[in-house]
Structure formats: C-alpha cells, structure tokens
C-alpha cells in the first residue's frame, strides 16, 4: 500500500514561477481598491472624528479609541485571515470581510454612544478589514516576484488616491446628511470590497503548486526533519511498523497545521526583529492621520481647508509610493536600507509638525508628511517578503500584523492622552515621531544581521 506521503507526491503539479503580469494585473487592481477602502477610509476618518467628538462631548482619547480598536482588530485578526484563506480560499474570505465591513459601518451610523461605535465601527468593521486586506496582499505577493516592489507600491497607492477623494467627500456628506448619514453612505461603499474578492482567481489554476505540497524529488519537509527510527533488539517488526506509522501521522498533522499557520516563524530571529520594528512604527503610523484635521481646526483653519490637508497629504503620499517603489525595483540599495532612511525621515517630519500653525505651513507639513509616509509604506511589505521568503509570506503577514497590533491599538489613545494632558494636538505628533525614530533602530539591527549572514555564506 502506498504511504500518504507518496499519494500526495503523486498529486503534485509542476511548480512554475509567479506570472509577474497577465491576470496578476487584475489582482493588483483588486489590491489597489482594498487598500483604499480599508486604510484609506481609516486615514479619512479624521472628518468623522471632529463631528463625533462634538456630538458626544467626549475627550480626544475617548474618540480616538474608535479608530484604534479598528486598527488593533485588523492586526489581531490578520493571522485568522491568512488561515481561513488557506482553508476556504482567498476569494470567499475577502467577500465575507467586505460584508462585515459594510455591516459594521451601517450599524455604527445608528450608534447612541461611544461604546456602540467601538463595537460596530471599531471591532466589526476592523474584523472585516482584516479578512479583506490580508488575503488580498498575500495573493498579490504570489502573483509577482521580479516586479513585486513596484506591484506593492502601485497597489498601496489606492490608499492615497481614495484618501485624496474620500476626505472632501466625507466632509460634504457630513454637511449634507450629518455624520450618521455620511457613515451610512460609507457602509454602502464598503460593499465594493466584495467585488474585489470576486477578482481573486486562485493561483493554482495557473498550474502552480501550493508551497506546502510535497515535492517528489525533495520529499516531505516535515518527515525529513524527524530523527531516523532505530530498531531495538526487543522490538518486533510489528512494533517498528506501528512506530513509523505514528511518526507519519504526526508529520501529516504538522504539515496540515503548517498549511494554515506557519508557527515556525516565531523562532526566526530576523522575523522577530522586523516585527518589533512594526510595533513601534505602528505607534506612529496611525495617530497623525487621525489628528491632522482636528489639529488644523484647533489652529483656526476652516473645515474645508482642514479637510484639504488630508488630500494634499494623500497626493504626495501617492507620489512617494510610486517613486520609491520604482526606486526599490531598481535594486540600487538594499530595500531594508531604503526603508530605514525613510522611517527616520518620517519621524523627523512629524516632530516638526507643532511648528506649523497657519494653513500654508500646515499644507507644507502635510506634503512632507505624505511624501515620507508613502516612501515608507511602499517597501515595508517587500522587506517582509525578503525576510521570510515568498512561500511563508501569507503566515508571516498574519503574524507580523498580530505582533504589531499592540502598536496600532495603543498609538492613537497614547497620542490622545498627551493631547488631553497638554491641551495641544501638537504633542500627539511629537509622540508619533519619537516612536518612528525608535522603530528605525530595529531596522538597523536587521541590516546588521543581514550583513553577518552574508559574510557567513561567503
């Protein structure tokens, strides 16, 4: 009788590389829209922040928890999104996520207090975003290899373009229908995420084997790591066969677990270091976008000019993503070095924000912030793929998001705490800038580890 390993080996299809084009461009379009309808919406939420802050007469910290819970939920649920994608398929999971996102925002429009907003917009919509964003980004990484930096930059540009369009649109909707009516419209807009899910054709239909399948020539990666069975004088052939069967079953179970969640990543020191970068970077990533509009309003800038600041930031964010994504694709420097430089630049720009008070000064800050932010996010997923390898990207992306969830969850409330204590929105930008400078230290450590590994190889 053939063993289970041989049976699976017979079913393996010939492995081919990522297409780097073809239908991959449709995957890129889907990812572009997903970026815009998830993180683009979160960045535009500052318009709602001002209205909700006034409506419920609460503190900056209390209002900031809405976005914070959404960001934290996205990160925490990311591993589940990866695992469900491996089980149910990327298409189904993304469509489910789109429905949950829509339901969360529609329910949020009827909220009577902040707690209900925390549950609906924060928890439910954040859960839907996690099921939508993680599988789509993973699928994009599978479809592109040589053009991966450029593909990631183009896809993430959706966040910029939709932020540019949605911020003034949300302000108009708020003026016309109040924040509740605007949020209801946004809930309907989220259903487009289901359309994005429908575009996700499984890569296996192109003849590519999943990375966890057994290769006929290489054998089973799990079984190969098991120690050889040594026969004992007192053991019969039946006992030996039973022992081997138990090991084969255990290896089969391990293979199934690794198919959905690659838990071996937690023992990868380079991945852990990069994840620590993600924690501190997340502390500074999300607070500035949330507080930019309120900060401008506190400086006497009128509401549409304040909303325009987010559009200015989004336009330069787009420029930064496209230019620095193209630059990374040239491979002139290591991507981790490029990421380190842009993270430091972003931190310094944020620390200079409190010096801006008039609209022209805030417009200049918004442009610099957008450019540096776009330069940073254009390559951070590419660096993650280089750290763990493309075959582990799905699980790595899930674990990376989970680990940095504490940063995404605590960033806005910590900034809000300083704002409440100092009665100045500028202190929130200072906190974000310091956190990003600290995160760059982990990138420097990762670069040193890469150099040491290269020296050992040579």
DSSP sequence for 283-305: HHHSHHHHHHHHHHHHTT--HHH
- pLDDT at residue 218 in the model: 42
Model confidence at 10: pLDDT above 50: no
The alpha carbon torsion through 157, 160, 165, 168 (nearest 10 deg) reads 180
List residues bridging with 219 in a β-sheet.
215
pLDDT digit string (tens) for 283-318?
A: 888 778 778 888 888 888 888 888 888 889 888 988
- pLDDT at residue 254 in the model: 56
pLDDT digit string (tens) for 236-258?
A: 666 666 676 666 666 665 555 55
Do the Cβ atoms of 73 and 130 come closer than 8 Å?
Answer: yes
List of residues 6+ apart from 300 with CB closer than 8 A:
none
Percent of the chain scoring above 70 in pLDDT: 82
- pLDDT at residue 108 in the model: 93
Do the Cβ atoms of 129 and 101 come closer than 8 Å?
Answer: yes
Do the Cβ atoms of 392 and 386 come closer than 8 Å?
Answer: no
pLDDT digit string (tens) for 314-367?
A: 889 888 888 888 888 888 888 889 999 999 999 999 999 889 889 999 999 999
pLDDT digit string (tens) for 131-153?
A: 998 889 888 888 887 777 778 77
C-alpha span between 132 and 137 (Å, rounded): 9
Q: Which of 2-16, 55-69, 118-132, 360-374 has the lowest mean pLDDT?
A: 2-16
H helices then E strands: how many in the chain?
A: 20, 0
pTM for the predicted model, two decimal places: 0.66
- pLDDT at residue 206 in the model: 42
- pLDDT at residue 249 in the model: 64
Q: Which two tokens stand for residue 376?
A: 């940073």
Q: Which CATH number is 18-203+267-457's, of 1.20.1250.20, 3.40.50.720, 1.10.240.10, 3.30.70.20?
A: 1.20.1250.20
Model confidence at 260: pLDDT above 90: no
The torsion region of residue 168 among left (phi > 0), alpha (psi -120 to 50) and beta comes to: alpha
C-alpha span between 405 and 281 (Å, rounded): 11
- pLDDT at residue 78 in the model: 79
CA angle at 28 for the pair 23 and 30, rounded to the nearest 5°: 100
Query: What DSSP state is assigned to residue 458?
Result: -
- pLDDT at residue 229 in the model: 47
C-alpha span between 98 and 107 (Å, rounded): 14
C-alpha span between 272 and 296 (Å, rounded): 38
Q: How confident is the model at residue 33 (pLDDT cuts 50, 70, 90)?
A: very high
**Mean per-residue pLDDT of the chain:** 81
DSSP for 170-232 reads HHHHHHHHHHHHHHHHHHHHTTHHHHHHHT---GGGGTPPPTTSPBTTTB-TTGGGSPPP---
C-alpha distances (whole Å) from 444 to each of 273, 337, 371, 372, 437 are: 10, 8, 22, 18, 11
Nearest to 292, CA basis, from 161, 429, 165: 429
C-alpha span between 290 and 279 (Å, rounded): 18
List of residues 6+ apart from 441 with CB closer than 8 A:
none
- pLDDT at residue 99 in the model: 96
Provide the angle, in degrees to the nearest 10, between the axes of the packed helices 393-403 and 269-285: 50
pLDDT digit string (tens) for 101-130?
A: 999 999 999 999 999 999 999 999 999 999
C-alpha span between 402 and 71 (Å, rounded): 11
């Amino acid at each position: 009788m053939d063993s289970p390993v041989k049976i699976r080996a017979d079913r393996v299809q010939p492995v081919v590389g990522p297409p780097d084009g073809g239908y991959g461009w449709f995957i890129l379009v889907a990812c572009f829209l997903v970026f815009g309808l998830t993180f683009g919406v979160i960045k535009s939420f500052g318009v709602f922040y001002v209205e909700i802050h006034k409506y419920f007469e609460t503190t900056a910290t209390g209002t900031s928890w809405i976005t914070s819970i959404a960001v934290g939920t996205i990160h925490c649920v990311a591993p589940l999104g990866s695992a469900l994608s491996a089980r149910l398929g990327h298409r189904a999971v993304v469509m489910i996520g789109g429905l949950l996102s829509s339901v969360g925002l529609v329910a949020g429009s009827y909220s009577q207090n902040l707690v209900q907003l925390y549950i609906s917009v924060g928890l439910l919509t954040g859960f839907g975003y996690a099921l939508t964003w993680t599988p789509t980004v993973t699928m994009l990484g599978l479809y592109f290899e040589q053009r991966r930096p450029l593909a990631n930059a183009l896809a993430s540009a959706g966040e910029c373009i939709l932020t540019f369009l949605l911020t003034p649109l949300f302000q108009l909707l708020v003026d016309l229908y109040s924040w509740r009516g605007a949020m209801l419209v946004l809930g309907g807009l989220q259903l487009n995420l289901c359309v994005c899910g429908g575009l996700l054709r499984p890569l296996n239909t192109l003849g590519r084997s999943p990375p966890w399948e057994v290769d006929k020539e290489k054998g089973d990666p799990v079984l190969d790591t098991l120690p050889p069975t040594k026969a004992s004088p007192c053991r019969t052939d039946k006992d030996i066969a039973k022992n081997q069967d138990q090991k084969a079953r255990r290896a089969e179970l391990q293979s199934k677990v690794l198919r959905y969640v690659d838990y071996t990543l937690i023992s990868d020191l380079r991945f852990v270091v990069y994840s620590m970068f993600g924690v501190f970077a997340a502390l500074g990533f999300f607070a500035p976008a949330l507080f930019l509009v309120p900060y401008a309003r506190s400086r006497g800038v009128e509401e549409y000019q304040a909303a325009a600041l987010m559009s200015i930031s989004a336009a330069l964010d787009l420029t930064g993503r496209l230019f620095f994504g193209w630059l990374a694709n040239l491979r002139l420097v290591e991507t981790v070095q490029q990421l380190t430089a842009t993270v430091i630049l972003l931190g310094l720009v944020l620390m200079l924000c409190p010096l801006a008070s008039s609209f022209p000064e805030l417009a200049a800050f918004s442009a610099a912030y957008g450019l540096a932010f776009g330069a940073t996010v254009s390559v951070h997923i590419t660096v993650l793929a280089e750290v763990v390898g493309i075959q582990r990207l799905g699980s790595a992306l899930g674990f990376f998001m989970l680990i940095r969830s504490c940063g995404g969850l605590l960033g806005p409330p910590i900034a809000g705490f300083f704002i409440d204590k100092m009665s100045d929105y500028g202190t929130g930008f200072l906190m974000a800038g310091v956190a990003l400078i600290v995160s760059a230290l982990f990138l420097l450590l990762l670069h040193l580890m890469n150099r040491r590994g290269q020296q050992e190889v040579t």
